[in-house]
Structure 1
Amino acid sequence: MPRIENSVVIAEDPRKVFDITNDIDRWSEIFDEYSAAEVVTRERDGRWTEIVFELTDHEGRSWRSWRLLDHRELVVYAERRDPLFPFRYMHLRWSYRAVAGGTEMTWVQDFEPADGFDVPLESMVERMQVHTRRNQAGIRRIIESGAVRAA
């Protein structure tokens, strides 16, 4: 099972970073690859929020995902749901913890390519590493600049 894990330190409070990066309605503002992000369902029960949402990229491809936010521990569990391709599965864990200088935001992605996906695994992993690091750097820049604030 391939795993990608990347962290970035953001000069901001963990709660704010958690709130901003999990505000799905604003993902098209904080992630440059999405043209739209639409929440399908959102249910909050005290410590937990469960969200089902649909993302659309700039090429018009859409997929549905699921997230479970733990507001006490500042951890998110997520998975891509439909369509899964190019993955057999994609599970994510985002965590936020206070460190000197702000918040360490760590993203872990466990996945397996779908049968019939013709990109070599090494190339897929490298693309995902580059993409994840670029996204985290962009989020750091946006949050630290004050361009996006917690709702």
Structure 2
Amino acid sequence: MPRIQNSIIINKDPRTVYEITNDIERWPVLFNEYHGAKVLESETEGRYTRLTFQLTNAEGNTWRSWRLLDQKELVAIAEREEPLYPFKYMHLKWAYEAAPEGTKMTWTQDFEMDPQYDTPLPTVLERMNAHTRENQQNIKEKIESGQAEKLTADATR
């Protein structure tokens, strides 16, 4: 099973980073590749919230995922539902822990490629690692600059 794991330090407290990065409807601003994000269903029980959501990329392609948010441990786990292609499965875990400089945000992606997908695994791993690092750096810059929190205030007006 291939695994991608990347971490970044963000100069904000873990709760703030967790809340900003798990606000699905804010993803089109936080991530360059999402042009639409819509929560389809939300269930809250104690410290857990389960979300089902749909994302749309620049080409208009959509896919659905679910996400389980652990409000106490500041962990999010997720799984892509449909369409799965180019993956056989994609499991995600985002963890947030206090660090001297703020928050260490770690994203782990465990997956397997669909046998019909013809790109060699080393190329896929290289692309996914680069893409994850780029997303994490963009998020870091938006959070540290205060731009991400401003987006929250604007959205609630």
TM-score range, shorter chain: over 0.9
Q: 1:138 — aligned with what?
A: 138
What is the CA distance between 1:45 and its match in structure 2? 1.1
Q: 1:63 — aligned with what?
A: 63
State whether structure 2 residue 94 is matched by structure 1 residue 94.
yes
Task: Give CA-to-partner distance per residue, 1:92-135, whole Å, 9 cap, x none.
Answer: 00000000100000000000000200111110010000000000
**Secondary structure of 1:148's match?**
helix
Task: Give CA-to-partner distance per residue, 1:50-95, whole Å, 9 cap, x none.
Answer: 0000000001111000100000000011010000000000000000
Structure 1 stretches of 4+ with a deviation exceeding 2 A read: none
Which whole-Å CA distance do the structure 1 matches of 2:42 and 2:17 have between them? Answer: 19
- Unaligned runs of 5+ residues in structure 2 are none
Which whole-Å CA distance do the structure 1 matches of 2:87 and 2:103 have between them? Answer: 30
Q: 2:50 — aligned with what?
A: 50
Task: Give CA-to-partner distance per residue, 1:12-31, whole Å, 9 cap, x none.
Answer: 00000000000001110111
State whether structure 2 residue 23 is matched by structure 1 residue 23.
yes
Q: 1:148 — aligned with what?
A: 148
Give, as a single letter, the amino acid of the residue that structure 2 aligns with 1:98. A
State whether structure 2 residue 88 is matched by structure 1 residue 118.
no
Q: 1:34 — aligned with what?
A: 34
Which whole-Å CA distance do the structure 1 matches of 2:44 and 2:12 have between them? Answer: 25
- The count of corresponding residues between Structure 1 and Structure 2 is 151
TM-score (norm 1): 0.98
What is the CA distance between 1:46 and its match in structure 2? 1.5
- Unaligned runs of 5+ residues in structure 1 are none
